[in-house]
Amino acid sequence: FAYGELHFSEGTNTSIWSEIRTGSNASLNCTVRDSLPPVTNLSLHIFPPAGPESNWIIKRNGTHSIEMVITNATSKMNKRNIVCSAGNGIGKALLVYQNFVGGPPDAVNASLDVKVTDDKARFSITVSDNSSAPAKVHTQLRWLLQMLILK
């Protein structure tokens, strides 16, 4: 790495999707792996801010690491974006955790609408579930579409 660069062990200048089951405990880490010159500022920001009744325990481990421990996770308390930032006077690095708290959906609904006109086919695929998590089904949809085309 070059002079002035910083790198988090978990990924640098990136966003990590973190799915936590309701009622469980979880640990999220922000650890600076490399920094030249050494880290002078490591901070943690929670959006939207956690209130005074928060179930977060934040542990600072020296100047290079922060651990966030969540106990008895709930969507109301822990569905947050956590931003870790580190600086060394020359450069800055960010790491964002996007937390979702919940469980798997009870049901998933998928519908396919195919319209064929002349020599064109139009596929419309809708996937929904009863979970409040954002959809993460691109790979499954791509596979489904490929299978339909092969048939």
Name the DSSP letter for residue 119.
Answer: T
* Pairwise pLDDT comparison (120 vs 99), residue with the higher score: 99
Name which of 42, 28, 18 is nearest 70 in CA terms. 28
Binning pLDDT at 50, 70 and 90, where does residue 150 land? Answer: very low
Quick check: 25 pLDDT over 90? yes
What does the block give as tokens for 140? 């499954």
Say which residue the tokens 């690095």 belong to.
93
- In contact, 73 and 26? CB cutoff 8 Å: yes
Tens of pLDDT, residue by residue over 76-113, are 888 889 999 999 888 889 999 988 888 666 666 777 78
- In contact, 83 and 42? CB cutoff 8 Å: no
Read off the pTM.
0.67
